[in-house]
Amino acid sequence: SLCPLSPAEYVELMCTGPLHRSVSMPAPVCLCENRFTWSSICVHFYIKISILVSTVTFDDCMGNEAVIFQSSDPNFSVRTDGSVVAQGELTSLDNPVQFTLTASGPHKQVWETVVQLCLVDETEHDTLAHAPPHSNPLPTRTNTYTPYARSGLNSSKGLRRQKRDWVIPPINVAENSRGPFPQMLVSIRSDQDQDISIRYSITGVGADQPPNEVFSIDPVLGKMFVTKPLDREHRSSYHLRAHAVDMNGNQVENPIDLYIFVIDMNDNRPEFKNQVYNGSVDEGSKPGTYVMHLSAFDADDNTTANGMVRYRILSQTPHSPIPNMFTINSETGDIVTVAPGLDREKVSQYTIIVQATDMEGNLNFGLSNTATAIITVTDINDNPPMLTSRTFSGEVPENRVDVVVANLTVIDADQPHSPNWNAIYRIISGDPSGHFTIRTDPVTNDGMVTVVKPVDFEMNRAFMLTVVVSNQAHLASGIQSSLQSTAGVTISIQDVNEPPYFPTNPKHIRFEEGVPAGTSLTTFSAADPDRLQMQQTIRYSKLNDPADWLSINRTNGQIVTTAMLNRESIYVTNNIYEATFLATDNGSPPASGTGTLQIYLIDINDNPPALVPRESQICERVNKNINGVNITAADADTDPNAGPFVFELPSFPTSIRRNWTITRISGDYARLSLRYQIYLEPGMYEVPIIVSDSGNPPLSNRSVIKLKVCPCDENGDCTTLGAVAAAGLGTGAIISILICIIILLSMVLLFVVWIKRREKERQTKQLLIDPEDDVRDNILKYDEEGGGEEDQDYDLSQLQQPDSLEHIISKPPGVRRVDERPIIPESQYPIRPVVPHPGDIGDFIHEGLRAADNDPTAPPYDSLLVFDYEGSGSTAGSVSSLNSSSTGDQDYDYLNDWGPRFKKLADMYGGGDDD
């Protein structure tokens, strides 16, 4: 590659990096604390057997005691004083030689450097050949990289120069250097700079690419500098290319690659992701149980000690049961238990301060940071619930439910309101019928003995229960249940006054309807459950009797009717009549019970049938498709006192059977129709019919059906005329109604035709001039100052529009009407464009206004108008001198002062100049 140093120059070792991780010697041992690196050494030599090539200087800060030098190339060796010697005879050297030189210390410290051997010109051969041992005969060179020659042995001339290439080893630059800046890194030089002027430049990230101007080069001397401190955490390496060109920009040497590596410094502390970490561990956990993980990040190089973080526990709070209940893996940050004895009931939470230190945990040189780990000891069910007493007692009145009888208290050291603490109570004996249950109070964890099924004092006066309590969660392994989890509960039953009850409730009986008042139906009596300690009397009363048909004996409960029972009553549902009665004892306080009596009423034939329907319509003549009306009957009774029914016509009047006939269809239906060849006038007819049911004895009913007899179409439907006639209107009335309708329609049609004609005549009248331009004076009557109706006799023909202009042409000059056109050629008005530009609208208006001012034929025509003669001496003066043109110098603004009658003239001729 390129030779940075001459053999005459010794290399000074400087403290630029941290101690290698394999170094484990006590610190400090010298000023530089065993932190230094080798600089590259390049020596010039002439190959010769066993000659001294160069001498390197090495200082381990401890006098180089027991330092051993080794070379990676067997052709070269290093003596104990640092002399580099070539071993054996080398006849050719096609490529530069590069090998590694290692220095090993007594404490297993290892330092390395790279030695590069470059060829020199033949002119230097003699100097190298005669150089004495342990000396540096070559002249001192500057710290410059030059192209080396690819050369070999020639039979006549030996070594000779070949094509040159650039190869520069990587350049190491420590980060956060304090300068001074710019700081030179390396000097490159082309051996052609003696013949021509050469300019050097560098390209790449950090030179001409962002971040710019981190590195610079002297274009003449080829010295490359770093201009400011580098930060490895921002960028750890740079790749630049060095260029050498002549003054014309022609390339002199091939571009050379420059690799700059930023050497890491320990300038970043480890950082925890969180300041507080939360973890948990079950109480009673064995040693070695994993608890939680902490991790810290160090921005420094993690391949060196600068970024290698180690963890340790600084403190534990509280110290119970021992100060070191936990330990942390120094490399992974995992916290585990190291001792038994975790008991949540004693210590529920631990606070641990964890320290993270880089430099592999070296407290003297490493940077540290701390975080807090909060470890919660989670509960396990290691404490069974214990009842506070072995016996409990309570009492409850009989027949009461949802009543708390006794309260069982329990203690449990586990975490409250957790499955390990929640108590579950069970009755294991003393309640075979299931009268009681025990509910758990969710707040206090107490057991509430509750009655869920009524108890009877007459059956059981006391209960002896055995209760056991356990947790919702199972006990932890190895924990035995305590004897205190079982207790006895004594419950006493209190006797109370129980209400009487009806043994049969509701009570069902059957009776025929129509039973007369005073009939005894049954005895509805009640019993008193209080038969042990109390002897009581029961009294009866009626609670609910919808139809007021019944009464009850106050002492014995006998039921007697007070009215006739009727199955067809609205108070009877599905043949059942229901009444409620009350039985009351004389206890303290009195108690009462209710009973329901249901009477099933058996039907009797007490309702005659009724004809259905009561109204219908029928055709005036017998139709082959429809011949009559279907009829049936309705009976409030039920079978067998209802259908089948019998329908028949009465014998009187005789016209009924002469005109009508009834035909049986089924047991409940018959057909009423006109007899064949019988014609009835359309109208309303009432036909009596006798209907009989099937009771024993049967009941009959004479009903009347109203029939509308009307003419029908082929489908048997009444026509319109027929329906009207059937409603009671005669033929004359119908004809009169139709004539009135026709007359009304004719009048409406004539009125519409007259309106259309008036509209057409109005549209056919054409005006000679547009209504908006018509300025003909109209006669307006403002006041009545004349002599009466004779003053209103005006000749209106003077105001009419002439049909032609012939009389105007033949009329001599003189007075003209305002609507007469002067016989003058008409002016040419401008033609408005179809789609005018907005800017042309104003021009069009001004041109039209100018043409109208110069057009004497445009209305109103400028001619003398005589409306009336008022005699001589008029104060108004003559207006014949007024000119329609507004181009004169006369001022007509005074017309505004003459009143509203002259306002038009003032608007036309006043107002100043034309726009």
Reported as a single tens digit per residue, the pLDDT across 636-647 is: 777 887 778 888
pLDDT of residue 111: 75
3-state class (DSSP) for residue 847 = helix
Mean pLDDT in residue range 391-412: 91
Do the first three CATH levels of 175-263 and 610-710 match, i.e. the same topology? yes
441-471 residues labelled b (16+ CB within 10 A) or e (exposed): eeeebbbbbbbeeebebeeeeebebebebbb
Task: Identify the band that residue 411 occupies on the pLDDT scale cut at 50, 70 and 90.
Answer: very high
What is the rounded CA–CA span in Å between residue 492 and residue 455? 10
Least confident among 412-426, 628-642, 671-685, 863-877: 863-877
**pLDDT band, very low/low/confident/very high, at 444 (cuts 50, 70, 90):** very high
What integer pLDDT is reported at residue 693 of this predicted model? 81
For 56-123, the DSSP string reads -----SSTTTT-EEEESSTTEEE-TT-EEEE-S-----SS-EEEEEEEE-TTS-EEEEEEEEE---GG
Q: How far is CA 573 from CA 598, 637, 643, in A?
A: 11, 14, 21
Question: What confidence score (pLDDT) does residue 889 get?
Answer: 57
Q: What's the CATH code, domain 386-478?
A: 2.60.40.60
161: pLDDT strictly greater than 80: no
- Whether residue 705 contacts residue 689, with contact meaning beta carbons closer than 8 Å, is answered with yes
Least confident of 58-67, 553-562, 743-752: 58-67
Q: Which conformational region is residue 19 in: left (phi greater than 0), alpha (psi within -120 to 50 degrees), or beta?
A: beta
Q: How far apart are CA 215 and CA 224, in angstroms?
A: 7
Q: What is the pLDDT of residue 31?
A: 31
Angle at 39 between CA 34 and CA 41, to 5 degrees: 135
Listed residue (812, 629, 599, 794) closest to 706, CA to CA: 629
Closest to 597 (Cα-Cα) out of 555, 556, 547, 545? 545
For 704, other C-beta atoms within 10 Å of its C-beta total 10
Cα–Cα distance, 633 to 349 (Å, whole number): 94
pLDDT value of position 779: 53
pLDDT of residue 108: 58
Could you confirm whether domain 507-602 is CATH 2.60.40.60?
yes
User: CA-CA distance, 423 to 386, in Å (whole number)?
Assistant: 10
pLDDT at 769 (0 to 100)? 47
Strand partners, 372: 276, 353
Per-residue model confidence (pLDDT) at position 903: 74
**What are the tens digits of pLDDT across the range 484-526?**
789 999 999 888 887 888 888 899 988 888 888 888 888 888 8
Strands 198-204 and 276-282: unpaired
User: Quick one: CATH architecture of 175-263?
Assistant: Sandwich (2.60)
Range with the poorest average pLDDT among 400-414, 648-662, 681-695, 813-827:
813-827
pLDDT attached to residue 88? 58
pLDDT band with cut points at 50, 70 and 90 for residue 200 = very high
Residue 74 has pLDDT above 50, yes or no: yes
- 312: its two tokens: 């340790």
Distance from C-alpha of 644 to C-alpha of 668, rounded to nearest angstrom: 5
The CATH-assigned architecture of domain 39-118 is: Sandwich (2.60)
Q: What is the CATH class of 610-710?
A: mainly beta
Give residue 897's pLDDT band: very low, low, confident or very high (50, 70, 90).
confident
> Higher model confidence: residue 626 or residue 620?
620
pLDDT given at position 640: 83
Task: For residue 99, name the pLDDT band (cuts at 50, 70, 90).
Answer: confident
pLDDT at 560: 92
Check residue 124 and give its pLDDT. 37
Q: Which pLDDT score, from 0 to 100, does residue 20 have?
A: 37
Q: What is the pLDDT of residue 359?
A: 93
Residue 53 banded pLDDT, cuts 50, 70, 90: low
* pLDDT the model gives residue 857: 67
pLDDT of residue 915 exceeding 80, the answer is: no
Give the mean pLDDT of 713-726: 62
Q: How much is the pLDDT for 22?
A: 34
pLDDT at 801 over 90: no
Q: Largest Cα–Cα distance of the chain, in whole Å?
A: 178
pLDDT of residue 135: 33
Of 98-102, 157-161, 604-608, the one with minimum mean pLDDT is 157-161
CA distances from 508 to 76, 517, 538, 572, 581 (A): 131, 20, 22, 14, 14
Q: Mean pLDDT, to the nearest integer, of 746-753?
A: 90
pLDDT at 289 over 90: yes
Average pLDDT score, the chain? 76
Sign, CA torsion 327/332/334/337 = negative
Distance CA(556)–CA(523), nearest Å, equals: 7
Phi-psi domain of 381 (left: phi exceeds 0; alpha: psi -120 through 50; beta: other): beta
pLDDT at 9: 35
Confidence of residue 152 (pLDDT cuts 50, 70, 90): very low
The per-residue pLDDT for 89 is: 52
User: Confidence band (pLDDT; 50, 70, 90) for 163?
Assistant: very low
Residue 165 confidence (pLDDT) above 80 = no
Q: 286-295, 426-435, 725-734: lowest mean pLDDT where?
A: 725-734
- State the pLDDT at residue 466: 94
Q: What is the pLDDT averaged over residues 60-82?
A: 75
**Confidence tier at 23 by pLDDT (50, 70, 90):** very low
pLDDT interval class at 18 (50, 70, 90): very low
Lowest mean pLDDT among 58-67, 224-233, 353-362: 58-67
Asked if residue 465 has pLDDT above 90, the reply is: yes
Averaged pLDDT for residues 848-861: 72
CATH of domain 271-378: 2.60.40.60
Residue 801: helix, strand or coil by DSSP?
A: coil
The number of residues in the chain equals 915
Q: For the chain, how far is it from start to end, CA to CA, in angstroms?
A: 99
Give the highest mean pLDDT range of 35-49, 174-188, 641-655, 695-709: 174-188
Sign of CA dihedral 447, 448, 453, 458: positive
Domain locations in the chain as residue ranges? 39-118, 175-263, 271-378, 386-478, 507-602, 610-710
> Quick one: pLDDT at residue 533?
58
Asked if 6 contacts 140 with a C-beta cutoff of 8 angstroms, the reply is yes
Note every long-range contact of 772-780, with CB atoms under 8 Å and residues 24 or more positions apart, other chains counting: 773/859, 775/818, 775/859, 775/860, 776/818, 776/819, 777/818, 777/867
Q: What is the pLDDT of residues 557-605, one digit of tens each?
A: 899 998 988 888 889 888 899 999 999 888 778 888 899 998 998 888 7
Query: What's the gap between Cα 610 and its chain centre?
Result: 70
What is the spatial distance between Cα 5 and Cα 11, in angstroms, rounded to a whole number? Answer: 9
Tell me, letter by letter, the H, E, C secondary structure of 126-194.
Answer: HHHHCCCCCCCCCCCCCCCECCEECCCEECCCEECCCCEECCCCCEEEECCCCCCCCEEEEEECCHHHH
Q: What would the pLDDT profile of 234-262 be if each residue is shown by its tens digit?
A: 999 999 999 999 999 899 988 999 999 99
What integer is the mean pLDDT of 783-791? Answer: 50
Percent of the chain with pLDDT over 70: 69
**More confident call, 844 vs 158:** 844
What pLDDT does 118 receive? 62
Band the pLDDT of 132: cuts 50, 70, 90.
Answer: very low
